């Protein structure tokens, strides 16, 4: 069973990495699924993922606070809508049913992203005193 969890954890990690570049493929759920599967199958892979240079802090922060930084929300939603609108214009041009599906997916993903709390910054502006 552990081997199966490792396999699906690695598959989920790969999908999460692809999701960085494809807005319709969500990154966070796949990374969280990988962390879950690795926690139940391989302490070494779980530790590696939580301490990864790129994904580690992101996963740890999300697991601890259940929140997304404002910068990430803005970036994610902007890229999502940019690619969806380009797809509607150039790929689904003239296919009204596909345009509706793409727009509906974009609205759903936007609502999902906005449903998470916004993470407060760890840093105070330079002009404020702690």
Model confidence over 70-103: pLDDT tens digits? Answer: 888 888 888 889 888 998 988 888 899 999 999 9
Can you give the pLDDT at residue 63?
Answer: 81
Strands 117-119 and 67-69: parallel
Tokens coding 11 = 């598959």
- Does the pTM surpass 0.85? The reply is no
Using N-to-C axis directions, what is the helix angle for 2-19 and 27-39, rounded to 10°? 160
Summarize the confidence of residues 33-39 as an average pLDDT: 92
Question: What CA–CA distance (Å, rounded) separates 37 from 4?
Answer: 9
Can you give the pLDDT at residue 24?
Answer: 66
The size of the chain, in residues, is: 130
Q: Write down the domain spans for the chain.
A: 1-65, 68-121
Question: What CA–CA distance (Å, rounded) separates 5 from 69?
Answer: 30
Can you give the pLDDT at residue 85?
Answer: 92
């Amino acid at each position: 069973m552990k081997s199966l969890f490792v396999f699906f954890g690695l598959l989920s990690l790969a999908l999460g990495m692809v999701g960085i570049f494809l807005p319709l493929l969500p990154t966070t759920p796949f990374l969280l699924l990988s962390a879950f599967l690795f926690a139940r199958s391989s302490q070494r892979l779980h530790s590696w993922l939580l301490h990864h240079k790129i994904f580690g802090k992101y996963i740890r922060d999300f697991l601890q606070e259940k929140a997304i930084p404002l910068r990430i929300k803005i970036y994610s939603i902007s890229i999502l809508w940019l690619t969806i609108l380009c797809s509607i214009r150039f790929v689904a041009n003239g296919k009204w049913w596909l345009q509706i599906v793409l727009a509906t997916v974009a609205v759903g993903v936007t609502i999902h992203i906005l449903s998470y709390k916004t993470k407060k910054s760890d840093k105070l502006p330079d002009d404020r005193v702690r």
